[in-house]
Structure 1
Amino acid sequence: MTVEVERKFVCDAEIMGKLQDIGAKCIGQRQFRDQYFDSPNFILTLKDFWLRCREGLWELKCPAVSGTTAGNDTDALCTRYREITSLPLIQSEVSRIIRECAAEGRESNSSQREQIDKVAENEDTEICSADDTKWLDDLNLVCFAEFKTERRSYTLEREASVVRVDLDQADFGYCVGEIEVLVPEGVDMNAALQRIAGIAEELGLSSEKKVNGKMHVYLQRYRPEHYAELLSARIL
């Protein structure tokens, strides 16, 4: 399992020229559609778990322990998520989170409580294929966000490792860049953070504040209730 260490930045008109100047290699451009799923009362995202289907491929992003010095400016500007891409493991992890939520007694809606109790009682829930969405119904998961992204991707080689830069244009009018390094789970992330900070410096990016991602902006615009809950829980 890998951990995605990522820093977002504001795209400007000169960004592609800057990437070329520092030796970035363009590896292609593509469009994809993302769908994100959660329970009606946001069980997953309130625990900072993000369940996504991208063009038929499932991924669960899980919060990762930083392992870096608290208060570090570079650390504060980056996000860190473990990535699970095996569908059976995703289904197992999501079921576990829902069972834990039921045990904590957080459900107040009786119909939702009955649904979660059903999942909690059946720990051997049938594992479904990627194109079978029955497991979403069984776990009472619904799509809360859906949008398309036009992405241009670059790679840079730094210190015998590869740093990836993505430039994203979402179909709801938001453009954002991402500097990303993947590291094996359990490995110290300081080296990854330093590489990201180095690329940001080469690109002349400001380090004053964290830049919002596509999901942050989407929820703020189109799901204000969900957005407010996540702000209150300090997830966003």
Structure 2
Amino acid sequence: MTVEVERKFVCDAKIMGKLQDIGAECIGERRFRDQYFDSPDFILTLQDFWLRRREGSWELKCPTVSGTAPDKDTETLCTRYREITSLPLIQSEVSRIIRERTAEGSESNSSQREQIDKVSENEDTEICSANDTKWLNNLNLACFAEFKTERRSCTIEREAGAVRVDLDQADFGYCVGEIEVLVPEGGDMNAALQRITGVAVELGLSSETKVKGKMDIYLQRYRPEHYEKLLIAHIL
């Protein structure tokens, strides 16, 4: 399992020239559609868990806390998420989260708990098919955000290791860049943050304010109630 460490930045017309100047190599372009799922009362996202289906492949982004003490400013500008890409593991983790939250409710939730138990008991059976949405229905999960992205990706080779840069143009009119390093779970998080900061400096990114991602802007525009709850919970 890996931890995704990234820093977002605002794209401008000069960004490709800047990337070429620092030796970035373009590794391709692609288009994809993302769908994000949660319960009606936002059980997952209010705990900073993000369940996504991208062109048929599932991923669960989970919050993670470093055991080290990185520079405060660097930490503020970057995000870190543990990534689960195995569908059976995703189903297990999501059902656990919802089961724990549902258990805090009243007996009126007994029907939903039975559905959750069905998912847990059948994690290794046919419901693990990527195209089968039965488990979503059993957990009362629905799509709350859906958008398409055009992405151009580059890699930058440095002595400390490669750094990836993605330039994303969302179909709702927002463009954002991401400087990303993948770290094995339990790996050196500070080193990853330093590599990201180094590339940011080379690109002349001087912003001391965390840049909003595609999801922030999407929710702000199209799901303001959800967005407000996430702000109050200090998730966004």
TM-score (norm 2): 0.94
What is the total number of aligned residue pairs between the two structures? 232
**What CA distance in whole angstroms lies between the structure 2 residues aligned with 1:190 and 1:171?**
34
4+ aligned runs moved over 4 Å, structure 1: none
Residues 66 and 189 of structure 1 are in contact (CA less than 8 Å); yes or no, is this contact kept in structure 2? yes
Match of 1:124?
121
1:161-172 alignment, distance < 5 Å: 161-172=161-172
**What CA distance in whole angstroms lies between the structure 2 residues aligned with 1:10 and 1:43?**
30
Aligned-pair distance for 1:39? 0.4
Match of 1:201?
201
1:137 aligned partner, one-letter code? N
**What CA distance in whole angstroms lies between the structure 2 residues aligned with 1:100 and 1:25?**
46
Partner deviation per Cα, 1:87-135 (whole Å, 9 max, x = no partner):
0000000000011101233x79x4xx24432145443134420011111
2:66 aligned partner, one-letter code? S
**What CA distance in whole angstroms lies between the structure 2 residues aligned with 1:153 and 1:219?**
25
Match of 1:90?
90
**What CA distance in whole angstroms lies between the structure 2 residues aligned with 1:162 and 1:57?**
25
**What CA distance in whole angstroms lies between the structure 2 residues aligned with 1:222 and 1:44?**
19
**What CA distance in whole angstroms lies between the structure 2 residues aligned with 1:199 and 1:183?**
17
Residues 34 and 147 of structure 2 are in contact (CA less than 8 Å); yes or no, is this contact kept in structure 1? yes
TM-score (norm 1): 0.94
**What CA distance in whole angstroms lies between the structure 1 residues aligned with 2:7 and 2:104?**
33
Match of 2:34?
34
Match of 2:220?
220
Aligned-pair distance for 1:69? 1.9
**What CA distance in whole angstroms lies between the structure 2 residues aligned with 1:161 and 1:47?**
32
Match of 2:44?
44
Q: Percent same amino acid at aligned positions?
A: 78
Query: Using a 3 Å threshold, how does the CA distance of structure 1 residues 12 and 68 change in structure 2: closer, same or farther?
Result: farther
Match of 2:233?
233
**What CA distance in whole angstroms lies between the structure 1 residues aligned with 2:152 and 2:89?**
30
Q: CA RMSD in A?
A: 1.5
Question: Could you say what secondary structure the match of 2:130 adopts?
Answer: coil
Question: Could you say what secondary structure the match of 1:158 adopts?
Answer: coil
1:1-236 alignment, distance < 5 Å: 1-69=1-69, 72-105=72-105, 110=108, 113-122=109-118, 123-126=120-123, 127-236=127-236
Residues 148 and 170 of structure 1 are in contact (CA less than 8 Å); yes or no, is this contact kept in structure 2? yes
Aligned-pair distance for 1:158? 1.5
Question: Could you say what secondary structure the match of 1:228 adopts?
Answer: helix
2:82 aligned partner, one-letter code? R
Aligned-pair distance for 1:71? 5.8
Once the two structures are overlaid, the 10-residue window that deviates more, 168-177 or 71-80, is 71-80
1:66 aligned partner, one-letter code? S
**What CA distance in whole angstroms lies between the structure 1 residues aligned with 2:166 and 2:89?**
27
